[in-house]
Chain A
Amino acid sequence: MKNYTIALKELEKIVEELERGEVSVDVLVNKVKRASELIRQCKVILRDTSEEVEKVIDGMGGDE
């Protein structure tokens, strides 16, 4: 999945579940694994995006 918004929504849902304490120990490890994966994905997208943005902006300033 390469969509930040969808990943973020799912992540928020999991965190809210965790915060409400609705998650039983039996499924906790799966939820945590999923949340970690989503965080990793989101960070990758964010990092790629800001690198891309900086590259574009540096490119614009480059011909001055």
Chain B
Amino acid sequence: MMDHQPTLFDDRRIYSLFELTGNIREVLQEAYPDFYWIKAEIAKLNFYPKSGHCYVDLVDKQERNIRAQMRATIWASAYQMISAKFRDQTRENLRDGMTVLFLASVSFHEVYGLSLNIVDIEPSFTLGEMAREKRDTIEALKKEGIFDLNRKKSLPPVPNKIAVISVESSKGYHDFMVTIRNNPYGYSFRCSLFPSVLQGEKAVETVIDQLMNIARQHAHFDVVTLIRGGGGEVGLSAYDTLKLAREVAVFPLPVITGIGHSTNETVVEMVAHTNLITPTAVASFLIGQFKTFEDRIDSLRDELFRESGQILQDSLTRMANLSHRFHSATLRLLQQPYSELVSSSEKMSIFVRYILEKQSHTLETYQKKIELLDPMNTLKRGYSITLLDDVPLTDASLAGSGSEIKTVLYKGTLDSKVI
């Protein structure tokens, strides 16, 4: 200021704005000649693709109150290097709400005022901040007692009404739908898409919006799948935020994640009912649930068939056995009296035969005896019988002279007169 010729007005020394700002610039340059490592939160990051420059609103908060605020600039030349390095190491884009450690100089411009000129950023600092946020999220969920809530929900045995949170044009959604539709068992699934941004800073709000949307009609769904794929691995810290992780943890339906990345498991994946690597794996998991259920039903049906068949078979065998016993017992009962009858009749006939034989023998004896007594046999030998008045004469004196006697010979008779 001393270099210029002073201007006076009513005896008062006056400076032009240019003189003042120029002086401020010089003072500041003198006071802050170096580059300094500064940590601050990015309140708003404005990137202008055309120029490639990036303008950042920085804040320093204490308990939600802003205690310092400043603008910063990252010129196009620095921004390209810085953002690439940052993305490589943190798998995140520089974005609003992030706490960063950067190397900057204090700059003052007569027209644009005070700002910081950022020339470098240390990604590992932010990585540490992100890890801390993740730890805080896990701790908060556990403290609230909701960390395991979704994991403990039971999956319906046949989960076929599926609310899909994804991006319609994404590879992940396509893979999921193809796997579901082409399942080899012909199971039918009803999938409803709830489109959402799935990475970056907008993911938290849009995923939560869609979760709320599904929650309002949760009776129509069995399960929620959160699937992402083909979108690169940048911007997944949304899944470590307490806000989103809490909504997933307390969600009324089981949430199955297939976010598809190779980095550490995010908190949302930890609290989800089931976490699988890819959307295809999520689809296969759901089909697997169906298959398991069907196999169980099939084996129960087989068991039922086997068991009922066995009972019937046993009953038939028992019945056949009883029937057989019944017949033989009945026959035996009938045969016994009959055979008793038979045997007594047999005994009887033997006895009768004996008696008859004996009788006939006796008869024969008699017959022989009778035969011996037959006079014809005597006559044959030349003897004869003399009859007097047809009575056999055994005393000659009984036949007086003149008596007419009859002599019976073996053949014929002689009539004679006693002389």
Contacts and interface: CB of A to CB of B under 8 A. Distances in A.
Interface of A: 4, 8, 11-12, 14-15, 18-19, 21, 23, 25, 28, 32, 35, 39, 42-43, 46, 49-50, 53, 57, 60-61
Contact of B312 (A15, A42, A49, A61): A49
19 contacts: A8-B318, A14-B326, A18-B332, A23-B333, A25-B334, A28-B330, A28-B334, A32-B330, A35-B326, A39-B319, A39-B322, A39-B323, A43-B319, A46-B312, A46-B319, A53-B308, A53-B309, A57-B301, A60-B301
B220 interface: no
B337 interface: yes
Q: For chain B, what secondary structure do more than half of its interface residues adopt (helix, strand, loop), or is it mixed?
A: helix
Nearest to B308: A53
Given A25-B337, A53-B308, A57-B304, A18 B315 contact: no
Given A18-B325, A21-B332, 4 more contacts: A15-B329, A19-B325, A42-B319, A49-B312
B9 interface: no
A21 B301 contact: no
Contact of B333 (A4, A18, A42, A50): A18
Nearest to B309: A53
A18 B329 contact: yes
Interface string B309-342: 1001001101100110110011011101100000
Given A12-B322, A39-B322, A19 B329 contact: yes
Contacts of B304: 57
A61 B302 CA distance: 10
Interface residues of B, number: 21
B301 A39 contact: no
B18 interface: no
A11 B321 CA distance: 12
B322 A11 contact: yes
A56 B147 CA distance: 47
8 shortest A-B CB distances, which residue pairs?
A18-B329, A19-B329, A15-B326, A50-B312, A15-B325, A53-B308, A57-B305, A35-B326
Interface of B: 301, 304-305, 308-309, 312, 315-316, 318-319, 322-323, 325-326, 329-330, 332-334, 336-337
A37 B240 CA distance: 79
Contacts of A60: 301
Nearest to B336: A21
A46 B326 contact: no
B334 to A, nearest CB: 7
B340 to A, nearest CB: 11
Contacts of A12: 322
A57 B337 CA distance: 51
B355 to A, nearest CB: 31
Nearest to B297: A60
Contacts of B330: 18, 28, 32, 35
Contact of B322 (A15, A53, A61): A15
Contacts of B305: 57
Nearest to A17: B329
Nearest to A21: B333
A11 B330 CA distance: 13
A53 B312 contact: yes
B326 A18 contact: yes
Contacts of A28: 330, 333-334
A15 B330 CA distance: 8
A13 B333 CA distance: 16
Contacts of A46: 312, 315-316, 319
B302 to A, nearest CB: 10
Contacts of A21: 332-333, 336
Contacts of A15: 322, 325-326, 329
Q: Which of B301, B315, B323, B333 has the most CB of A within 10 A?
A: B333
B208 to A, nearest CB: 42
B341 to A, nearest CB: 11
